[in-house]
Amino acid sequence: MIERADQLVLEYVSKVADAAHGVLRQDQRLDFVRRLRERIDAERRGAESLAAVQKVLAVFGDPAALVAREVRRLEETQAPPVDDSPTLMASAEAVTRELPAVAPKPPPTARPGPGEIPVPGGRRPSQGMPPGVARFTEEARKTLAGRETGGRLARRRARGGPAVPEGDDLLGLGESGPEEPGARRGRRGRRRGMGGRGRRSMPGAGRGGGDFDDGERGGTGSGGRGSGWRSDAGSILASRPREVVGVVVLAVAGLLVPASLAPIAIFSIPFIVWAVGTVVVLSCPGWEVGDKVLGVAAPVLVYAIGGAAVAIARAKGDLGRMLSGFQDVSGSMFIIGTVLGVLWLAYRLFNPPAPFTGRPR
C-alpha cells in the first residue's frame, strides 16, 4: 500500500515537471518541483492510505494550472535590480515613479536643503548620497511594490473575483516559511469559499459536502445530486472492484440468515460467508484499518451484545428462558449488525476520512 501511494505521488510530480518544461527556466523548474514535493509530503504527514493520498493530490489540482500559477507568482514577485551606488536624485525618481508628477521647485539660493553641507562662499553644495540613504531607499521601493500588489487584489475583489492571491501562496508553496495552524484553517476556509475550482475530481475524494459542492456533482438541484452520485458509484465500481466484492459478500451473509441451510461441520452457512467477506474487506486498501475492523465486526458485536441484552431483558432471571430467547433473536441481531457494517463500509467508500482528522470532508 505504501509503494502504491508513493508511486501515485511520483506520477503527479512527474506530470507537474513535464508541464513546467519549456515554461520555466531549469533552475526555477527544479526549485518548484522540490517545493511541491516537500509540500505534498507535509500535507500527507506520513499517511499510507491510497485514498488519503488521492485526497491530498486533489487539493493541489491540475498540474498545468499549478504551473501557470507559479509563472504568475514569479512575474509578480520580480523586483527591479538595485544599483550598487545610486545617486540621491536617481533613487528618488525610482521610488516615486508610481506617484503623480510634482512641479519642480526653484533651487535654493541661501539655505542648504536636507542632507546638504553648507559650504563657505555661497556655492551650491554637492548632491552626494548620505550614508544609509541607499538602504532606506530600497525599503521604500519594496513598500511601494507591496502597495501595488495590494491594489491589484483590491481591484480583483471589486470585480467579484477571488479575494485570495493566486500562485504558490494559495497552496503554501511560497517562501514565506512554515505555516501557523490559524493560517492553515483560514486557507482551508478560503478554498471552501472558492467552491473547489481548479481541482480534479478523484474517486472517493471530497464527497459528502465540504470542498466539493453540488456544482461539481453535475448540478445544483436534486437531479444534479443524483447524477453526481451515479457518477461516483460508477467510478468506484471501476476503480475499487475488490472493495465492492467485499461489501456484497457481507450483504449476502446477512441475506442467508433466514434461509434454512444445513451447516458445514459446526459452522452455519451465513457465518462462513461472513468470514469470507471479512477476509476480502481486510485485504482491501480502500479503507482505513479502523473502518475495516468496525465494518466486519459489527455483525458479530450486534449478534453477541444485542442478542444477550434482549435475552436477559426477556428472561427475568430464568436461565433457560434466557438461552431460548437468545436463540430466537440472534439471527435478527446478526442481520441488523450486517446492515450496519455494510452501510458503514459503503459510507466510508464514498466519503473517506480527511487525513489525520477522522472526519469526512
What confidence tens digit (pLDDT) does each residue in 143-189 have?
777 766 666 656 666 666 544 444 444 444 444 444 444 445 445 54
Nearest to 216 by CA among 233, 195, 188: 195
Helix, strand, coil shares, percent, the chain, to 5? 60, 0, 35
Is pLDDT of 357 > 80? no
Range of the domain at 315: 241-350
- Asked if the structure places residue 260 within a domain, the reply is yes
What confidence tens digit (pLDDT) does each residue in 7-35 have?
888 888 888 888 888 888 888 888 988 89
Q: What is the pTM of this model?
A: 0.37
- Asked if the structure places residue 97 within a domain, the reply is no
The mean pLDDT of the chain is: 69
Average pLDDT rounded to a whole number, residues 188-192: 48
Buried b (16+ CB within 10 A) or exposed e, 51-61: bbbbbbbbbbb
- In sequence order, the 6+-apart residues with CB closer than 8 A to the CB of 354 are 55, 360, 361
Tell me: do 63 and 206 sit in the same domain: no
Tell me: do 216 and 321 sit in the same domain: no
- Predicted pLDDT of residue 130: 59
Q: How confident is the model at residue 340 (pLDDT cuts 50, 70, 90)?
A: very high
**Beta-carbon-side half-sphere exposure of residue 46 (alpha carbons within 13 Å):** 1
Q: Which residue has the higher pLDDT, 43 or 146?
A: 43
Tell me: do 178 and 50 sit in the same domain: yes
Most confident among 56-65, 96-105, 257-266 (mean pLDDT): 56-65
- Predicted pLDDT of residue 197: 42
% pLDDT > 90, the chain: 1
Is pLDDT of 359 > 80? no
- Predicted pLDDT of residue 101: 52
Tell me: do 185 and 68 sit in the same domain: yes
Tell me: do 340 and 250 sit in the same domain: yes
Q: How confident is the model at residue 120 (pLDDT cuts 50, 70, 90)?
A: very low
Distance (Å, whole) CA 308 – CA 73: 65
Distance (Å, whole) CA 75 – CA 66: 15
What confidence tens digit (pLDDT) does each residue in 222-241 have?
444 555 556 666 777 777 78
Is pLDDT of 314 > 70? yes
Of 39-43, 87-91, 144-148, the poorest mean pLDDT is in: 87-91
Q: Say how many domains are in the chain.
A: 3
- Asked if the structure places residue 296 within a domain, the reply is yes
Q: Which residue has the higher pLDDT, 87 or 77?
A: 77
Most confident among 62-71, 79-88, 212-221 (mean pLDDT): 62-71
Average pLDDT rounded to a whole number, residues 246-268: 83
- Asked if the structure places residue 152 within a domain, the reply is no
Is pLDDT of 323 > 80? no
Tell me: do 225 and 332 sit in the same domain: no
Tell me: do 174 and 320 sit in the same domain: no
- Predicted pLDDT of residue 229: 57
- Asked if the structure places residue 252 within a domain, the reply is yes
Average pLDDT rounded to a whole number, residues 1-10: 76
Buried b (16+ CB within 10 A) or exposed e, 62-71: ebebbbbbbe
Tell me: do 209 and 345 sit in the same domain: no
Is pLDDT of 48 > 80? no
- Predicted pLDDT of residue 346: 86
Distance (Å, whole) CA 142 – CA 136: 10
Is pLDDT of 73 > 60? yes
- Asked if the structure places residue 44 within a domain, the reply is yes
Tell me: do 73 and 168 sit in the same domain: yes
Tell me: do 228 and 340 sit in the same domain: no
Tell me: do 227 and 248 sit in the same domain: no
Distance (Å, whole) CA 340 – CA 329: 17
- Asked if the structure places residue 285 within a domain, the reply is yes
- Asked if the structure places residue 140 within a domain, the reply is no
What confidence tens digit (pLDDT) does each residue in 292-311 have?
898 888 888 887 888 788 77
Tell me: do 229 and 322 sit in the same domain: no
- Predicted pLDDT of residue 37: 85
All cell numbers assigned to 93: 525618481
Nearest to 352 by CA among 71, 128, 51: 51
- Predicted pLDDT of residue 194: 46
Distance of CA 301 to the CA centre of its chain: 35
